[in-house]
Structure 1
Amino acid sequence: MYFILLSIICSVFVGVLLKIARKKELSIYQIISWNYVFALISLLIFYNPKINTSFSLPTGIITGSLIFLLPIIFVFQAKAIKYSGIVKTDIVQRLSLFISISFSLFVAKEVFNSYKIIGLVVAFIAIFFTFYKKHQTETNQNKSYYLLFVLCGFGIIDILFKKVATIGDLSFTELLLLVFSGAFIVSLLISGYNISQKREIFSIKNLYWGILVGVLNFGNISFYIKAHQSLSSNPSTVFIAMNMGVILLGSIIGILYFKEKLSKLNYIGLLLSLVSIALIAFSQFN
């Protein structure tokens, strides 16, 4: 379970940095591009993987899908926040858990014991309570499809990382070498488009933020894959614990650092997140 904890910490602080960067009016697109450079450098330093281009067609499809989805989902997320707000975007991002759990049940044929079923039910109640707001602004209906892209994108990425953990013809470090390299090229094209066509200004400040985001992104993904490898027969444990952990830690940072105000229902949601994680952890021993 400690791989999940480390992945949660890295994931939350990636979000924290991007939130601060957005307030400072830095370029999220340029930060994303630099992020993959330093995620790749971190991979080379810690694992020194060798280039392996000998793999099966299914592995190539998974690799190619991750190369395009990882940077593009950042763009969809930024668009969803712009048009629908952070709260609604966070809700649909966490509701992508439905897609991951459906995969575990119907494709991976995982057997759920009673503790995990109760933990799953509590998790979804926690998601609703944690992000509930009494007064919400109306979603821009013409751009609400970005929320659907976020929902599907994060759910598919979760499933692909589960498949990565079970691939036999590529080690996860070899696959990450290909994914980070390819994702950098895709993100560079997106960033270049915004600079050339939308007159976005290139700034060296984005490089500094990209270093921090890249190192944390590398940690998030590598620990997440290791969690799936160590719990290969229980993918739902990783899916649920990761989502609940991100909600819990992210909310704590939001309260203490960003001084965000929560309602009583929000606090109930945080408590239920703890209960859900405890049930899921306990289900591993039964």
Structure 2
Amino acid sequence: MINLLLSILFSSLIFIVFKLFHTFKVQTLYAIITNYFVACLVGLFFYKNTITPAKIPLEPWFGGALFLGILFILVFYIMAKTSQDLGVSVASVATKMSLVIPVLGGIFLYNETLTSIKTIGILLALSAVYLASTKNNSTFNKKALLLPFLVFLGSGTIDITIKYLEEAYVEEAKIPLFSSFIFLAAGIFGVLFILIRTKEHPIKLNFKNILGGICLGIPNFFSIYYLIKALRESNFTSASIFTINNVAIVLFTTLIGIFFFKEKLSTKNWLGIGLAVCSILLMALKYE
């Protein structure tokens, strides 16, 4: 359970850092790319075995990790834009609503069974994240809705891909190496993206962007690292892990939004928070 709690903590910190980027005028794309190289270095620090670069392409998870690297840079950038343009809670909810994708994946790919209690918990979770993000004065146009939808789709794809690779190809001892390579791939793709844009947007070194990337990179690595370790715990199914993880993050980031960023909550928002708590409790119960 400690791994799951740590994943929730570090994932929540990501949304807070994104919000602070806007406050301190940090350039999101440059900070995100820096964050991936920082996260890679953190992972390599925790990897105890000898690293042979020539052997990494021979690892069974290599292709999947490259795919995740591309998704990471795309989804993180869209997530940051959503957080800044539509609010922390909307970005968090759009990300965590994606729990539907790995939950369904666990059922169809791994024949996981859901008890009636856990099914109710998942339904409450979906209701909770929706209600927690609904704002009385919200008037989203189609363009605005596109950002949360892309975050939803991308985040869900990342979760189910991590679950599949972790289950099929990643050894326990190689979790830090696997995580580090994903972040390295994301950073490299990010640099390539910047180089393509250099004619229109010249690269400028900025201390705030580097510092922002460091502040983001550390919790980013640990959010993935502890999620993978939590998925290896036998106490819960992956459906339970993803539901508890995602709903708890929504709950935590919503409360952070209230107390630190002075975000206003409606009656629906408070109802969503209550349902989130109920959902977590139901999903944590070991009913067979």
Distance 1:210 1:142, change over 3 A: closer
Contact 1:7–1:221 (8 Å) recurs in 2: yes
**Which secondary structure does the structure 2 equivalent of 1:197 belong to?**
coil
C-alpha distance in structure 1 between counterparts of 2:203 and 2:24, whole Å = 15
Q: Which runs of 5+ in 2 are unaligned?
A: none
In structure 2, the partner of 1:149 is 150
In structure 1, the partner of 2:135 is 133
C-alpha distance in structure 2 between counterparts of 1:147 and 1:107, whole Å = 26
Alignment partner of 1:160 is 2:161: yes
Contact 1:164–1:225 (8 Å) recurs in 2: no
In structure 2, the partner of 1:67 is 69
User: How much has 1:95 moved relative to structure 2?
Assistant: 2.2
What are the superposed Cα offsets for residues 167-215 of structure 1, whole Å, 9 maximum, x if unpaired?
3465322322321221110122234445542356431111112112111
Contact 2:170–2:178 (8 Å) recurs in 1: no
Q: 2:208 aligns with which of 205, 208, 213?
A: 205
Distance 1:261 1:88, change over 3 A: closer
State the one-letter code of the partner of 1:266: N
User: How much has 1:16 moved relative to structure 2?
Assistant: 0.4
In structure 2, the partner of 1:15 is 15
Contact 1:126–1:270 (8 Å) recurs in 2: yes
In structure 2, the partner of 1:279 is 282
Distance 1:104 1:232, change over 3 A: farther
User: How much has 1:148 moved relative to structure 2?
Assistant: 3.2
Contact 2:72–2:186 (8 Å) recurs in 1: yes
Query: TM-score, structure 2 length as denominator?
Result: 0.88
User: How much has 1:67 moved relative to structure 2?
Assistant: 1.4
C-alpha distance in structure 1 between counterparts of 2:160 and 2:170, whole Å = 18
User: How much has 1:76 moved relative to structure 2?
Assistant: 2.5
State the one-letter code of the partner of 1:68: I
C-alpha distance in structure 1 between counterparts of 2:179 and 2:109, whole Å = 24
C-alpha distance in structure 1 between counterparts of 2:248 and 2:189, whole Å = 30
What are the superposed Cα offsets for residues 31-80 of structure 1, whole Å, 9 maximum, x if unpaired?
11111121112112222452442233xx3332121111111111232444
**Which secondary structure does the structure 1 equivalent of 2:102 belong to?**
helix
C-alpha distance in structure 1 between counterparts of 2:92 and 2:37, whole Å = 26
**Which secondary structure does the structure 2 equivalent of 1:151 belong to?**
helix
User: How much has 1:111 moved relative to structure 2?
Assistant: 0.4
State the one-letter code of the partner of 1:20: L
What are the superposed Cα offsets for residues 84-120 of structure 1, whole Å, 9 maximum, x if unpaired?
6665544432221221221112222110112211111
Q: Which moved more, 1:152-161 or 1:100-109?
A: 100-109
Query: TM-score, structure 1 length as denominator?
Result: 0.89
C-alpha distance in structure 2 between counterparts of 1:17 and 1:83, whole Å = 15
C-alpha distance in structure 1 between counterparts of 2:119 and 2:32, whole Å = 37
Aligned ranges 1:73-222 → 2 under 5 Å? 73-80=75-82, 88-139=90-141, 141-142=142-143, 144-168=145-169, 170=171, 171-194=174-197, 196-199=199-202, 201-222=204-225
Q: Which runs of 5+ in 1 are unaligned?
A: none
Distance 1:252 1:112, change over 3 A: same
State the one-letter code of the partner of 1:118: I
State the one-letter code of the partner of 1:243: N
Distance 1:8 1:81, change over 3 A: closer
**Which secondary structure does the structure 1 equivalent of 2:285 belong to?**
helix
C-alpha distance in structure 1 between counterparts of 2:236 and 2:12, whole Å = 26
C-alpha distance in structure 1 between counterparts of 2:257 and 2:175, whole Å = 33
